[in-house]
Every structure is written in C-alpha cells, then in structure tokens.
Amino acid sequence: MTGPVRTELQEDGRVLRVWLSQPKGNVLNQAMMAALGGALREHAAIPHLKLVVLQGDGGHFSFGAAVEEHQKDQAPGMLRAFHALCRQVAGYPVPVAAMVEGRCLGGAFELVLCCHVMFAAPDAVMGCPEIKLGVFPPVLAALGAQRLGSALAERLILTGEGVNRDALGPAVVAVAGVEDVLAWYRKNLAPLSAVAVRNTAHVYRQASGFMAALGAPLDLAEQTYLERVLTSHDGNEGIRAFMEKRAARWEDR
C-alpha cells in the first residue's frame, strides 16, 4: 500500500508491519486515519496473523492529530473519525503493538494508548499537550486511568507535559528499536495458536472494561468537547494562535 500508510507482512505472514508515512511529523489528519483504518480492515481476517506492529517513518511516531482539523468547522468530523479509529485499534482481533520512537504527541499518544502493547525507544517523548492550546484530549480523558493509572493520567492531561518512557513505568516495554519488538514476538507470540491469541485479546479487552471505557465515557468526553470547547473563546483562540505561530491571548472564557 502506498500513500500516508504503508504495510508489509513479515514472519511468514504472521506479523503485519504498518508505518505512518508522512514525514517528518506523520500527522494524523483524516486522510491518514482513513488509510490506517483501511489497512487494518484489509488484514483483519488473515487467519494466521498474530501481531500488528504500528510505527512511524522518519524517526518520529507522530506529532499528533492535525491542528487545522481542530478548527470549529472541522473538529466534529475529525473527532468522530479519530474516535472510530481508536475503537478499531482497541478492538482489533489480534494484538496491536505500538513502536514509539521520537515524538508521540496528542492524538498519536492517544492512539498508542489504545494499542495492546506499547514499546518505546530511548528517545521517545510522549504526552498530550492539548491543554496548552485551550482544548483537551478526549481519549486520554476516557482511557488514561485504566491504561496509565489515575494519578499519572490526570497529571498528564492537566499539564500537557511530555514524558519519557521511564515515567510510564510498566505500561511501556523499553526497547532499543523495532528488532527488539520482533524478538519479543518470536519469544512470546510465535509459539502460540493464532486462534488462542485472538480469543484472549478479545476477552481481555471486553471483560476488563477496556472497550467499555471507549464507549459511554468517550462519548461523554466527545460531547463535552463539542459543547464546551468549541463554543469557548479560548478553545478556538488556542488553535488559531498555534496556526498563526503566535502566543495565545487567553480571555478565560
């Protein structure tokens, strides 16, 4: 597949490699989201598939969702598309592993939180800086407590700070690069039945409440964004200021 996403089957067709491929930032615009969702749908029914490895081209995972698509007229459609993609990744029939290198910010970090396993290189910087633009990240709001622990998730969403892999503790597997991810696959998943892997991935995500967190709680976060952020002065001012490369003029309303 060419375009904003490229794919390759490896390990005798049992591992699907997927690259976000719009360097330098691999920005998650709606075209990228559609391409990624399409690539996942295309390979979902392969019976021997045991793992998807998602990573970014060019040294960075992704700078995040397209800021211009956060404007008031585009944000509702962008949020619907992005949240559908997050649910697709979270409920994928085989585990999805994110291999994070360089920057992984905003919507990209939220997408990584939806993956089954998170791997991170030494240079990885992760976080959701949305509050610095006067907005908030709905997926982190809905899923952060379960994925990262409530205290850490709340700190990240309130400050917008970026953190390295050590700050995320056991939520992240520290690796040097993607070869370590493939070695992890060969040790842990390759010996297993693909049917067992699929059934186990499905039951954990359903029984643990993971998918439930991406149901009504995410709907609530999205509704709040539409009703409170998009109708506020500062929620729109922060986006405009970023696009115009100037300091935001907050009015606290």
- pLDDT for 220 beyond 80: yes
The overall average pLDDT reported for the chain is 97
- b/e map 147-170, b = 16+ CB within 10 Å: bbeeebbeebbeebebbebebbee
d(CA 122, CA 174): 7
Residues 65, 200: Cα–Cα separation, whole Å = 31
**Cβ-proximal residues to 244 (8 Å cutoff; 6+ apart), any chain:** none
Angle between helices 75-90 and 30-43 (to 10 degrees): 30
| Nearest alpha carbon to residue 189 among 101, 117, 91, 86 | 117
Does pLDDT of 128 surpass 80?
yes
Task: List, for residues 43-73, the tens digit of each pLDDT value.
Answer: 999 999 999 999 999 999 999 999 999 999 9
Q: How far apart are the C-alpha atoms of 53 and 8, rounded to whole Å?
A: 10
Give the pLDDT band (50/70/90) at residue 2: low
Domains identified in the chain and CATH numbers: 5-188 (3.90.226.10)
Maximum C-alpha span of the chain: 58
| Cα–Cα distance, 226 to 220 (Å, whole number) | 10
Helix or strand holding residue 151 (H, E) = helix 150-159
Cis bond upstream, residue 24 (ω within 30)? yes
Tokens of 165: 């892999």
> What share of the chain in percent tops pLDDT 70?
99
